[in-house]
Structure 1
Amino acid sequence: MSLTDRRTMELATVVAIAFFGGVIVAGSLQLDTGWAAETGPQSGYLPLRLGIALCAVSVLLFLGILRQPGQAVFVTREQFKLTLAVFLPTAVLVGSMSYLGCYAPSWVYLLYMVKVQGRNSWGKSLLLASIIIIAFYLVFDLWFKVDLAKGPVESFLGL
């Protein structure tokens, strides 16, 4: 079993999910996990059961994966490049939102993805990114009255 075969990666993922479930169980045990007659479920009731379910499903998946024969390479170089082509711009988007707000980085991200990944013209890319961001602003800020994070660009525009 190599470090880059599919089976190894599936086992690692299942172990990570089981660990996450264990953290949820441990955290919920610090709260009341019962059911009160007057108020219903206590604050740790649902998290405890979800954590236990994650751990139980992880054990079942782990055993199922062990019974499978080892498979080929987890990801080829070409597949990894395609994954990075989406992951890296998304990471930049998420990292820049705390400094630049929600709208401007999202517009740049959409513009990049439509132009580069979608292989569209600049005009179509600009139009689509702009329409989507304007729609987000109209829906969230004006219709739902939910203020998404705004940065220096939105302040400059008076939004």
Structure 2
Amino acid sequence: MSNTEIDIEIDVDDPTAPEEGSPAVTSNRSVDIGVSLLLLALAITLGYDNWRTGASWDATGPEPGYFPFYLSVILGGASLYGIVAAVLSRKEAGETFVTRAQLRRVLAVFVPTLLFCIAMQYLGLYVASFLLIAGFMRLVGKIAWWKSLLTAFVFSAVMFVTFDVVFDVIMPKGPLEAMFGY
């Protein structure tokens, strides 16, 4: 018997790597500046609201907006730092934050999730969950319709029995549940 060494190399593609030829949608710098501006706007809004509520110290101690006001001042300072750092940074100027192909994959999850949140207000949690699960399985996962519908139905039914029947938890309901008296 001889000792033979076998080298096996498994080559796995990086799913987060940008697809070749997919153009950049935005750069790291522009995202850093955009997020910092949004956080600065939030800090100003929260700071103003807490200033109105009372952000000083009175005879009984801190007023209701005292601590939140100073937290918003800290958030505003950090946001300003982020803006200045992004503007002065030269190394990230051309670095791609997201490509068109990557953005398409993110939107493939974000848009149905947003639609789920809207549909839940009108159709209830269980019907909206059924639609979301069946849609994701079929359209994103490329799973057969019958498997997608069956899985979505079983999951929604188990959720209904668990929350509404067993634990008696009030969940958002729609017209379908109303037809059955729930």
What band does the TM-score fall into relative to the shorter chain? 0.7 to 0.9
* Structure 2 match to 1:64: 85
Q: TM-score, normalised by structure 1?
A: 0.77
State which structure, 1 or 2, has the greater radius of gyration over its C-alpha atoms.
Answer: 2
Given candidates 132, 153, 157, the residue that maps to 2:176 is: 153
Q: Does 1:89 align with 2:116?
A: no
* Structure 2 match to 1:137: 160
Instruction: Give the distance between the partners of 1:95 and 1:29, measured in 2 at CA.
Output: 34
Instruction: Give the distance between the partners of 1:131 and 1:29, measured in 2 at CA.
Output: 51
Contact 2:44/2:72 (<8 A) preserved: yes
Structure 1 unaligned regions, length at least 5: none
Shift of 1:51: 1.8
* Structure 1 match to 2:45: 23
Q: Which moved more, 1:41-50 or 1:6-15?
A: 41-50
Q: TM-score, normalised by structure 2?
A: 0.69
SS at match of 2:52: coil
| C-alpha spacing 1:56/1:132, structure 2 compared with 1 (3 Å) | farther
Whose strand fraction is larger, Structure 1's or Structure 2's?
2
Q: Which moved more, 1:42-51 or 1:69-78?
A: 42-51
Whose helix fraction is larger, Structure 1's or Structure 2's?
1
Instruction: Give the distance between the partners of 1:153 and 1:50, measured in 2 at CA.
Output: 45
Structure 2 unaligned regions, length at least 5: 1-24
Which deviations, in whole Å up to 9, do the C-alpha atoms of 1:68-123 show, x marking residues without a partner? Answer: 42033432221121122112212221222222222211221122112322333334
Identity of aligned residues (%): 29
Q: CA RMSD in A?
A: 2.9
| C-alpha spacing 1:156/1:51, structure 2 compared with 1 (3 Å) | same
2:70 partner letter: R
1:25 partner letter: G
Shift of 1:60: 2.6
2:111 partner letter: L
